[in-house]
Chain A
Amino acid sequence: DAKTTQPPSMDCAEGRAANLPCNHSTISGNEYVYWYRQIHSQGPQYIIHGLKNNETNEMASLIITEDRKSSTLILPHATLRDTAVYYCIVIGGGGADGLTFGKGTHLIIQP
């Protein structure tokens, strides 16, 4: 699975959009981009995933660049409860392997 690079930390004002970048320049054609988050003292929570098209669900939007070498997770109206560590993970199309978590981005929502 391709390696990902994320900034270690980011701040965002409450009510604003939080844009979390992820670089995965070695991603291959059948690999998916997944995002999880982990709120303090809880297990990771699945947010969203995509292959090449942009995706949106009730939690967030995922924008994948045309060359698929990077992506951005967007939380449209961040709240204090969105403060968490966000992990970007690339997974092969065959799936079923253990997830490889890096250190993620610690997103802090400021009141």
Chain B
Amino acid sequence: DAGVTQSPTHLIKTRGQQVTLRCSPKSGHDTVSWYQQALGQGPQFIFQYYEEEERQRGNFPDRFSGHQFPNYSSELNVNALLLGDSALYLCASSWDRGHGKLFFGSGTQLSVL
């Protein structure tokens, strides 16, 4: 049983560009959450998708958007990249919003130059 898979594992972009990160949840899970982790910090909640809708959102600007597909996979899009967007982006999945028990992927390391 595959766990949470994220792609790509590493990405380099320049300021002003747009990026799309992808996540496939653990088999049987229907909820996907995205987190941003800056170096030396704990992960910060971006948003959660359930039933193809954004259900919860953290304190992130509208440049951060997402989508969930009927097969429960998800994308995170970031527009107009800033240097400060450089971070590890983590996807987590759970069943039926999962309360606090989430399964995380290994993340996508995004570098903005």
Q: Which of A's residues lie within 8 Å of B, judged by CB?
A: 32, 34, 41-46, 49, 85, 87, 89, 91, 95-104
- Contact A44/B90 with A98-B56, A103-B41, A104-B42 known, Cβ cut-off 8 Å: yes
Q: Is the CB of A96 within 8 A of B56?
A: yes
Give 1 or 0 for each of B20-51: 1 = CB within 8 Å of chain A CB: 00000000000001010000111111111000
The answer to whether the Cβ of B105 comes within 8 Å of any Cβ in the partner chain is: yes
Q: Total A-B residue pairs with C-beta atoms closer than 8 Å?
A: 63
Within 8 A of A (CB), among B31-89: 33, 35, 40-48, 55-56, 58
Q: Which of B's residues lie within 8 Å of A, judged by CB?
A: 4, 33, 35, 40-48, 55-56, 58, 90, 92, 97-107
A102 contacts across to B, CB distance below 8 A? 42
Complex alpha-carbon distance, A78 and B97, angstroms: 32
B43 contacts across to A, CB distance below 8 A? 44, 99, 101
CB distance from A56 to the nearest CB of B (A): 16
